[in-house]
Amino acid sequence: MPLRIIFMGTPEFSVATLRAIAGAGHEIVCIYTQPPRPAGRRGLELTPSPVQHEAERLGVEVRAPLSLRGSAEQEAFRALGADVAVVVAYGLLLPPAILEGTRFGCYNGHASLLPRWRGAAPIQRAIMAGDRETGMMIMKMDRGLDTGPVALTHRIGIEPDMTAGELHDRLMDVGADLMVEALARLEQGDLSLTPQAPDGVTYASKIDKTETRIVWSRPAGEVHDHIRGLSPFPGAWCEMVVAGKAERLKVLRTTLADGNGVPGVVLDDRLAVACGEGAVRLLQVQRAGGKAVAAEEFLRGAKLGKDTRLA
């Protein structure tokens, strides 16, 4: 028989799994998501999450509580009589009463190879650290932060110039298929769990705006990983001087390049920039208030030639 499922998720990353579960024929009895948030240029419009939009399309009840700590919310959760809760990037802490509020518990789709990169930003942190491999894991949640036993794993390589956005999209699709497989095994009573290794634990803290500025004095490999790990959002940035004024330039795509020089100095007419060791070539950039463009298009409208210094 199909499982009765509570789905809990918020961003676009969660939507692929929600669609896959619905397509697999399971009964989604309720969908939990974060409340609508201010959006738009002035931040005045309250915008429902991508998961809420999908829930409405599917015609499933949506709940968006600010917290799950209250006894009333916990009892309402239990009253749904679900077999299992599926959690993908929900964004709220699940207290014990929620973790234990379904027949089989809560299963989480997490975008790292646990115990490496527990926490909020595993995709960005893996790239920023120069990892060559990551993956999706289906984990049974317990009271710790991403500490529960693992049910299924799918590994993928991180290509040298891959951005966080590209890795996000690959893992999103992998995670959807993996969760469907896990639910099928759970339904058949054939889903085994393996405790996480005690060694190799790292934490993927949220990206802070104070760490988005490019530090050209770092080695080229670290600069490159920093840039692609923050692309497309929130984006790594530097400053260039235009008509005597400093202007912020977001750098969205780079590759390693030949050359050495004073960190931050443009080495040629194709936007190779010197780092502390080696150089990176800027491939895609975005000026303040503008759209993302390839370096060639950017150079047609910006006087940023050899020996220009970026800060």
Which of 263, 240, 236, 241 minimizes the C-alpha distance to 251? 236
With a CB cutoff of 8 Å and minimum separation 6, the contacts of 105 are 84, 85, 99, 140, 141
The β-bridge relationship of strands 4-9 and 27-32 is parallel
pTM: 0.94
- Give the integer Cα–Cα distance in Å for 32 and 102: 14
Average pLDDT, the chain: 95
- Give the integer Cα–Cα distance in Å for 236 and 213: 6
Instruction: Tell me how long the chain is.
Output: 311
Among 35-39, 170-174, 247-251, the minimum mean pLDDT is found in: 35-39
153 in the same domain as 41: yes
Residue with tokens 């202007």: 247
114 has binding-site annotation: yes
Helix (H) or strand (E) holding 285: strand 279-287
Residue that is last in its domain, among 174, 203, 232:
203
140 in any annotated domain: yes
Q: What is the CATH number of the domain that holds 15?
A: 3.40.50.170
- 208 vs 11, 80, 193, 212, 230, CA distance in Å? 19, 37, 34, 7, 11
> pLDDT digit string (tens) for 131-151?
999 999 999 999 999 999 999
164-188 vs 12-23: helix crossing angle, rounded to 10: 30
311 in any annotated domain: no
> pLDDT digit string (tens) for 94-119?
999 999 999 999 999 999 999 999 99
Residue that is last in its domain, among 178, 203, 228:
203
115 has binding-site annotation: yes
Residue that is last in its domain, among 203, 238, 255:
203
Q: What is the CATH number of the domain that holds 269?
A: 3.10.25.10
> pLDDT digit string (tens) for 200-223?
999 999 999 999 999 999 999 999
